[in-house]
Amino acid sequence: MAEVFGSELNRNKKYTFGPGAKIAVFTWQGCTVNLYGKPEVAYVSKDTPMLLYLNTHAALEQMRKQAEKDNERGPRVMVVGPTDVGKSTICRLLLSYAVRVGRRPTFVELDVGQSGVSVPGTVSALCIERPADVEEGFSVQAPLVYHFGSTTPGTNIKLYNKLTSCLAEVFSQRCEVNRKASVGGCIINTCGWVKGSGYQALVHCASAFEVDVVLVLDHERLYNELKRDLPHFVRVVLLPKSGGVVERSKECRREARDDKIREYFYGFRGITFYPFSYEVRFSDVRIYKIGAPSIPTHACH
């Protein structure tokens, strides 16, 4: 048996991955994989933190069982770390594992630069009901999406924090009326900005969602800072990144964003969309900005 980021591979089935895809096939018992095409890099490694990730899932599942028994809420987990340490991957892994044991967790995407749910420049929440598709990821039907308007939180950190609070409020309201969602908890993916205002945004997120578990990937200083600043009941866990994590250049990130926008408007693989233009008079448009910087007094004269 083998899997890709928590999603099981079917025996004797071919899977197709496009240019730029970075895939890790993991097996607990050994398997044979036939690779077609010309990958840039392909290797086999026995050095993997997967056992630690599985133990993390087991601990979260134990918390869900206890929540179910005590009529409490399930774990609310925030995954943090700098860029290119595998935050999105471990989110997908933990979500898929949770679904495979019958849970209904919520995926909260706060990475406005490389969104895994909608287009870049948005924050979103998605109820996960089945493991991620091996090739295409999670089904993104009926997500809750808020427009931020930039791929960098620092562009308007006040608005970013406000949208984070809005997502947290909606999620909490859903948990009040949906027991499965409450027990399933949430997995929150965050941006790779972990210093200054970026760090404060992480603390704000932890407070807004009332997280009780924080997974810190490959950043001991961030781990110690969060241990110091978060309430004592929050479990902060330091995990290593996978050796297969690839550092992406600015150009690679930009291309990934462009691909995501193209898929949103024109479809993905066999699904084709047909976007069209809709003209609106400029006089009918109202433009607002939330959290704009204050104008200096001397500039008003």
Q: pLDDT tens, 57-77?
A: 999 999 999 999 999 999 999
Residue with more model confidence, 251 or 195? 195
Distance CA 132, CA 92 (A): 7
pLDDT-based confidence at 18, cuts 50/70/90? Answer: confident
Q: Identity (one letter) of the amino acid at 137?
A: G
| pLDDT interval class at 247 (50, 70, 90) | confident
The pLDDT assigned to 292 comes to 60
For the chain, give the longest Cα–Cα distance: 74
For 179, the enclosing helix (H) or strand (E) is helix 179-184
| Cα(116)–Cα(136) distance, integer angstroms | 11
d(CA 107, CA 164): 13
Q: At what angle do helices 197-209 and 157-177 cross, to 10 degrees?
A: 20
pLDDT of residue 244: 78
> Taking a C-beta distance cutoff of 8 angstroms, is the pair 192, 82 a contact?
yes
- The model's pTM: 0.90
Domains and CATH numbers, the chain: 48-251 (3.40.50.300)
Residue 35 CA to residue 172 CA, distance in Å, equals 44
Predicted confidence at residue 1, as pLDDT, reads 80
pLDDT for residue 297: 61
Report the mean per-residue pLDDT for the chain.
92
State percent of the chain over pLDDT 70. Answer: 95
Please name which of 219, 194, 221 lies closest in space to residue 205, comparing C-alpha atoms.
194
Q: Which of 155, 224, 179 is nearest to 72 (CA)?
A: 179
Residue 248 is predicted with a pLDDT of: 82
Confidence class of residue 189 from pLDDT cuts 50, 70 and 90?
Answer: very high
